[in-house]
């Protein structure tokens, strides 16, 4: 599932609007490193500390299937959000030419549905694998996403002003109805 999402992201990245403003390269590199560490923790054996491989919760069939369902739901939600965003999407924090503030579809549920979906998918994978390293990876991913979201929302506030302020008052940042 993750590979299919990656391929779609890569292919669709060529059909976006022209960028008029973007984040600095340093901020982007730090974010990429954090995401790579989170994925390495969850899916790899790059860190050789025995405690990282310990199971946290009993790995019952129900627990693993629930994790798989969360992963599929999260990736589907992220994909829907990416499709809904269309030509306004970018892998880095940017303002596009004729940028639109999308407030419908997944963006009516949370202001950052791509990240919400990725966090849910990551949590699902962590549940399925059950190891300490996956849950540490979620924390790592959540921190880097929160840092990125704050910067993205500063860009959106600058571009859309009161319209973005009104949107923020109606729709939560990452977790529907909560945060």
Tokens of 103: 């407030």
What is residue 34's predicted lDDT score, i.e. its pLDDT?
87
The pTM score is: 0.89
Q: Which residues pair with 94 in a beta bridge?
A: 22
Structural domains present in the chain: 24-170 (1.20.120.1630)
Span 157-166, pLDDT tens digits: 999 999 999 9
Q: What digits encode the pLDDT tens for the residues 36-68?
A: 999 999 888 888 888 888 998 888 999 999 999
CA distances from 97 to 14, 83, 93, 94, 140 (A): 15, 18, 13, 10, 32
């Amino acid at each position: 599932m993750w590979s299919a999402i990656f391929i779609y992201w890569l292919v669709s990245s060529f059909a976006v609007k022209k960028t008029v403003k973007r984040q600095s390269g340093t901020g982007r590199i730090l974010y990429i490193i954090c995401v790579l560490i989170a994925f390495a923790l969850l899916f790899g054996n790059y860190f050789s500390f025995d405690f990282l491989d310990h199971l946290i919760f009993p790995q019952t069939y129900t627990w693993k299937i629930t994790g798989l369902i969360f992963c599929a739901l999260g990736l589907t939600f992220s994909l829907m959000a990416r499709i809904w965003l269309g030509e306004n999407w970018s892998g880095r924090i940017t303002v596009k030419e004729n940028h639109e503030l999308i407030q419908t579809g997944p963006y009516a549920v949370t202001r950052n549905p791509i990240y919400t979906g990725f966090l849910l998918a990551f949590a699902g994978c962590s549940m399925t694998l059950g190891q300490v390293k996956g849950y540490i990876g979620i924390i790592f991913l959540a921190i880097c996403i929160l840092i990125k979201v704050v910067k993205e929302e500063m860009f959106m506030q600058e571009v859309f002003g009161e319209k973005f302020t009104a949107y923020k008052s109606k729709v939560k940042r990452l977790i529907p109805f909560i945060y």
